[in-house]
Amino acid sequence: MLQEPDALSGIYSSGVHFACAPLEAKRFESTAAIQLNTSLAIYTAIEFFAVACSAYFVSKLYYYFILHTSHGDQAYIFAAFGIATLVCVTSLSLRNFSAIRRQPRHVFILRAAGPVFLAFLLFLTALFFTQFGEHYSRGTFVFQVIGVIITVASTRAAFYSWLHSAISSNRIEARRVVLIGDAAHCIEVSHHLRTSGIWTVGSFRLPRSCGMEGATKAKQKISEIIVHCRSHPTDDIIILTNKANLPKTFDIAAAFAELPAAINIVPMDALEVLSASRIIEFGYLKTFQVHQPPLSPSEHFIKRSFDILAAGIALIVLSPLLVVISIAIKLDSAGPVFFRQKRHGFNNEEIRVFKFRSMTLVEDGDRFTQAVVNDQRVTRVGRIIRATNIDELPQLLNVLYGEMSLVGPRPHPTAQSLFFNNKIRPFSRRHNVKPGITGWAQVNGHRGPTDTLEKMQRRIECDLYYIDNWSFLFDMKIIIMTVFTKRAYTNAY
What confidence score (pLDDT) does residue 372 get?
A: 60
Q: What is the pLDDT of residue 118?
A: 94
Residues 6+ apart with CB under 8 A from 459: 441, 446, 447, 450
pLDDT value at 305 more than 80: yes
Q: Which residues contact 179 (CB under 8 A, 6 or more apart)?
A: 11, 185, 186, 189, 190, 200, 202, 203, 204, 238, 240
The whole-number pLDDT of residue 425 equals 74
pLDDT at 279: 77
> For residue 264, is pLDDT > 80?
yes
* pLDDT band (50, 70, 90) for residue 319: very high
pLDDT band for 267, please (50, 70, 90 cuts). confident
Instruction: Round to whole Å and give the CA distance between 457 and 171.
Output: 53
- Mean pLDDT, rounded, for 268-285: 75
pLDDT at res. 17 = 35
pTM over 0.75: no
pLDDT in tens, 32-81: 444 677 888 899 999 999 999 999 999 888 888 887 776 656 788 889 99
Q: What is the pLDDT of residues 383-437, one digit of tens each?
A: 888 888 788 899 999 999 999 999 999 988 887 788 888 788 778 888 899 999 9
In CATH terms, the fold of domain 174-289 is Rossmann fold (3.40.50)
Name the residue among 151, 132, 147, 133 with its Cα closest to residue 62: 147
* Alpha-carbon separation of residue 222 from 16, 193, 410 (angstroms): 22, 23, 57
Would the pLDDT of 172 be above 80? no
Question: How do the domains of the chain map onto residue ranges?
Answer: 24-168, 174-289, 297-489
